[in-house]
Every structure is written in structure tokens, then in C-alpha cells.
Amino acid sequence: MNVNGLPTRTIAPLPDLSGATIIDQTRLPFRYESLTLRTLADAAEAISVMQVRGAPLIGATAAYGVALAMNEGVDLDPACATLAATRPTAVNLAWALARMRAVLAPLAADERRAAAWAEAAAICDEDVALCQAIGGHGAALIRAVAEQKPGPVNVLTHCNAGWLATVDWGTALAPIYAAFDAGVPLHVWVDETRPRNQGASLTAWELKQHGVPHTVIVDNAGGHLMQHGRVDLCIVGTDRTAANGDVANKIGTYLKALAAFDNGVPFYVALPGPTIDWSLDSGRAIPIEERRAEEVTCIAGETESGAVVTVRVTPAGSPAANPAFDVTPARLVSGLITERGVCPASHEGLLSLYPERR
């Protein structure tokens, strides 16, 4: 992705391997600021408070968190345990930690530091390649719609499954960028995605950086737009896909899938292989993160004078609940867009693309 015209990744090691630089996503869209993670605690905190977020980027940050722990001389097991405890739903976190552990555990202590930085960089490079491949496969779906109708293809997306959620390109947004760059006329409906507004603050910001036409809508508008033929297809990301094709994604995804199903609008989910949890037979077992009530009762915004402030939007003392993800059953998903191609959301569908899992 180009930010202010410069090619940028969401996480990158310092040349001397003393830290990893991230974009502080809690400051967007009002401020574009980088910060450097220098310790295991910094990495764990960045994931917990969502300075970095999105399943693939959580995994990449955890990998660098292990590398930072090796710089500090922290043992591998407690380092992995600290990182594993940050956020429960995105399986990319456990996947990245298992991969780091598999590489580092057999090595002598003095060999682990260099190996950890190399493996974290490899995870990031692979994520970029996976997302680019997802972009190619998904763009073909968008192009197919474009060939059947006049005017732009209207794509609805929920939360942020774009460049900011990965190392580069994104999952759900990668097909949009690929199609847009290839000249396919399109327009994106961006769900605001309360409570943290990843759509309004992050997806809108990165689409704008890339010049992609888009419109932010409140979360409740999608069904209405679908009823009136104003959505051609939906593409969302996922934090964990069960082996039967059930997908966990940001809270509210399920309602969009129901509306899409009722209106005959194709509903695609884009994901890289590391987001598949082959150990789960169904989405019912996916752990759903419960976050702080303050994310519901309060909202951040920029005043006319440019100050960024947080205000309460509920009566003082009203309790709030904040489940951060929901599970969309496979039967509501038109297809899974992976780096290996598009498949039905089913166990057989996934096995057709990942036959080594049979």
C-alpha cells in the first residue's frame, strides 16, 4: 500500500533488529503515527489495545514479539504464553506462535535470536504473497459481475480486512484493490462497524489512500441497500474459519450474511490458509472475545478545532455488553476466497484446495 505516496508495510523490523515499527491504528483516521515495539511487553500491549489488529497482522506482530523476547533473553515458553493470552479469536496468533516455537525450540539459546527475526520476516513476506494471491482470485469474481451490468460493481464490506489488518494488501480488500488497479469500475459500501468503527476509521482511510470510490454507511443500512439492489456482492474477512467452513468475523458479520442470503446477494469470505482452524469441526467452538464495555459506551472523534476527544454516548451507569465477533454458518457463505482459489464453504470445499489436510 502507498501511504502519502510511499510504499508501506504495517509492520517492519528496524535495520539493527532492536525493534519493530508499527502504525498506531488507535490513532487513525485522525493521526497517522508510527511507533516502535522494543520489548515483548510492547508487542503484547500493542495487540491487546489494538494498536495492531486484524487476524494476519496479529500473527505477524506476535512473531516479532517472540523475536523481541529473544533480544531480551526471555525464555521461549513464557514469551509465547504472554503473547497467546492477548486476544482469543484470531487463530493466526496461535498459528504464528506455533511456527516460531517449531523453529526456535530445537536451537541452542545463542542461535535463537537471529532465527527468530528471520522467521518473523518470513511470516510477513508470506502474508504479503498470500494476500496478493487472494486479490487475484477475488478480483476475478468482481470482474465477472462487472461484465454483466452497467456502471460500477457495488461491494459491501464489514470491519477492516484490508491492508491495515495484514502486512500488505489485505484479505477482503485485496480483491477490491486488484480489480480497481485493473480498471474494473467499482464502489465500496463501508460498514462503520461499531463499537470500534474499524470500517469508518480504517477501511475508509485506506480506500481513500488508494483512491477507491467508497461510501461509509451505518451498520444497520446494509440490509436496506441489499433490498434495493444497491449491493452486488459482499466480501468480508475472518479471524478463524472452522474446518466445515463456518467463519468467525467482526460482530455484525452474521447479520450482513443473513441479509445477503435473503436478498440473493453473493456473500464471500476472504482468508489466507493460516486463518483456517483445522482442529475445529464447526464454528460453535470458536472462542469469542468479550471486550471492555467502554468501547460501547464511549466513542472517539475529532472536533472542529482538530482535537481528538472521547465522549460517552450512553446514560452514565447503563451497563453494556461487547462481544467482539460472531460466527456466520457456512450455509450463508457463497464461497471462500483463499490464496489457492475460491471454494465452497464446506469441509469438502476446503479439502479440495488443501488436499494435504485430508
**How many residues in the chain?**
358
Residues that contact ligand MRU, how many (by CB under 6 A): 18
DSSP characters for 15-28?
Answer: TTSS-EEEE-TTST
Q: Least distance (Å) from ligand MRU to the CB of residue 99? A: 18
Phi, psi (rounded to 5 degrees) for 301: -160, 175
**From 40-48, 53-61, 76-84, 293-301, span contacting ligand MRU (CB under 6 A):** 53-61
**9/163 Cα distance (integer angstroms):** 8
Under the binding rule (CB under 6 A), the answer on residue 243 touching ligand MRU is no
**Residue from 127, 168, 239, 246 carrying the catalytic annotation:** 239
H/E stretch holding 133: helix 109-146
Under the binding rule (CB under 6 A), the answer on residue 11 touching ligand MRU is no
Q: Least distance (Å) from ligand MRU to the CB of residue 160? A: 6
**157/154 Cα distance (integer angstroms):** 10
**306/236 Cα distance (integer angstroms):** 32
Q: Least distance (Å) from ligand MRU to the CB of residue 329? A: 17
Under the binding rule (CB under 6 A), the answer on residue 249 touching ligand MRU is yes
**From 164-172, 206-214, 277-285, 337-345, span contacting ligand MRU (CB under 6 A):** 164-172
Among 11, 91, 159, 231, binds ligand MRU (CB under 6 A): 159
Q: Which residue is nearest to ligand MRU (CB)?
A: 237
Q: Least distance (Å) from ligand MRU to the CB of residue 75? A: 28
Under the binding rule (CB under 6 A), the answer on residue 90 touching ligand MRU is yes
The residues, any chain, with a CB within 8 Å of residue 296's CB and separated by 6 or more, are 194, 195, 314, 320, 321, 322
Residue 239 annotated to the active site: yes
DSSP characters for 186-241?
Answer: EEEEEE--TTTTHIIIIIHHHHHHHT--EEEE-GGGHHHHHHTT--SEEEE--SEE
Among 13, 65, 237, 329, binds ligand MRU (CB under 6 A): 237
Under the binding rule (CB under 6 A), the answer on residue 171 touching ligand MRU is yes
Among 9, 13, 20, 56, binds ligand MRU (CB under 6 A): 56
Residue closest to 138 by CA, chosen among 106, 112, 161, 118: 161
**299/305 Cα distance (integer angstroms):** 17
Under the binding rule (CB under 6 A), the answer on residue 199 touching ligand MRU is no
Q: Least distance (Å) from ligand MRU to the CB of residue 62? A: 13
Under the binding rule (CB under 6 A), the answer on residue 54 touching ligand MRU is yes
**324/282 Cα distance (integer angstroms):** 19
Under the binding rule (CB under 6 A), the answer on residue 55 touching ligand MRU is yes
Under the binding rule (CB under 6 A), the answer on residue 165 touching ligand MRU is yes
DSSP characters for 267-285?
Answer: EEEE--GGGEETT-SSGGG
Q: DSSP character for 162?
A: B
* Contacts with ligand MRU, residue ranges (CB under 6 A): 53-56, 90, 159, 161, 165-166, 170-171, 198, 237-239, 249-250, 324
Residues that are catalytic: 239
